[in-house]
Amino acid sequence: MEQTFIMIKPDGVQRGLIGEIICRFEKKGFTLKGLKMISVERSFAEKHYADLSSKPFFNGLVEYIVSGPVVAMIWEGKNVVLTGRKIIGATNPAAAESGTIRGDYAIDIGRNVIHGSDAVESAQKEIALWFPDGPVNWQSSVHPWIYE
């Protein structure tokens, strides 16, 4: 089953959005397979966002991610990478649809509350980086009520 890496960024933690964000993924029917609150080092944040290292906002982005604890999660389910991105909404909250997390809870692109992997391959890389011991091995008992 497909997995994605979701991270509530420091602004989401500070603003008390942890419960609301977890609720949206949980109520959708996805399964939580890893969860931790962690403050990351600069070098770790740089590694996570390595693909963006040439961008002008890279430094500010790294500062933002190390500015407080984040909540790192693995969520599992059919098409969870793409559907997770839909739940999160567009990168720029100004363009994010109402009903998405960024559309409902954010204003500025540099304070957009949440990260979600953009492809299955990047999800695998990010999960390996953030959860070196891998996901928690458990099966939800509601599985047959969510999947036909």
- DSSP secondary structure string, the chain? --EEEEEE-HHHHHTT-HHHHHHHHHHHT-EEEEEEEEPPPHHHHHHHTGGGTTSTTHHHHHHHHTSS-EEEEEEESTTHHHHHHHHH--SSTTTSPBTBHHHHH--SGGG--EEE-SSHHHHHHHHHHH-TT-------TTHHHH--
For the CB of residue 123, give the shortest distance to ligand IDP in the complex, in Å: 12
For the CB of residue 130, give the shortest distance to Mg ion in the complex, in Å: 14
**Residue of 96, 95, 88, 93 lying closest to 116 (CA atoms):** 88
For the CB of residue 91, give the shortest distance to Mg ion in the complex, in Å: 7
Name which of 58 and 140 has its Cβ closer to ligand IDP: 58
Q: Of the residues 9, 33, 102, 115, which is catalytic?
A: 115
Binds 18: which of ligand IDP, Mg ion, none (CB < 5-8 Å by kind):
none
Name which of 2 and 118 has its Cβ closer to ligand IDP: 118
Taking CB under 6 A as the criterion, the residue among 109, 120, 129, 135 binding ligand IDP is 109
Can 143 be counted among the known catalytic residues? no
Contact between 87 and ligand IDP (CB under 6 A)? no
Binding to ligand IDP in span 34-73, by CB under 6 A: 52, 57, 61
Residues of the shown chain interacting with ligand IDP in the complex, contacts defined by CB under 6 A? 52, 57, 61, 91, 109-110, 112, 115, 118
Active site residues: 115
